[in-house]
Amino acid sequence: MEEYRKHILDRFQEHLQQNFKNYCERHGIEQTDNQLITFLIDHDLMSLAHVQRYTVLKEFEKLYPEHTYHKTHAVSTLANRFSISERTVWSILKYIKSR
């Protein structure tokens, strides 16, 4: 089973690299990390929900100590910063914690 996963990952990586290279050539852009992230989102290989969860989590990890470890203050700040509800921020944090 492990061999199968490795094989499929290798093939995925080959296809991704080639398609990204073609995409950059077709659009006349440089192959950068930022362009790769845009490519992944545009081709539905990375969902906006994942981007939102990852960003909120990383920002929370940074803000939480700055707010003297008051979760409510950090959550409120993030909700305002990203124009999302506090409930959404709490849900993201709960989702990440449950994984």
What pLDDT sits at residue 4?
81
What pLDDT sits at residue 1?
60
Summarize the confidence of residues 45-49 as an average pLDDT.
92
Residue-wise pLDDT tens digits, 58-91 = 999 999 998 788 999 999 999 999 999 999 999 9
Cα 20 to Cα 34: distance, rounded to the nearest angstrom: 12
Residue type, 13: Q
Same domain, yes or no: 55 and 86: yes
Query: Does position 48 have pLDDT exceeding 70, yes or no?
Result: yes
Q: How far is CA 91 from CA 5, 32, 80, 84, 94, in A?
A: 31, 32, 15, 11, 5
Same domain, yes or no: 58 and 94: yes
Same domain, yes or no: 58 and 85: yes
Q: Which domain holds residue 92?
A: 48-98
The rounded mean pLDDT for the chain is 93
Same domain, yes or no: 52 and 34: no
What pLDDT sits at residue 99?
73
Q: How many domains does the chain have?
A: 2
Q: How far is CA 63 from CA 59, 60, 78, in A?
A: 6, 5, 9
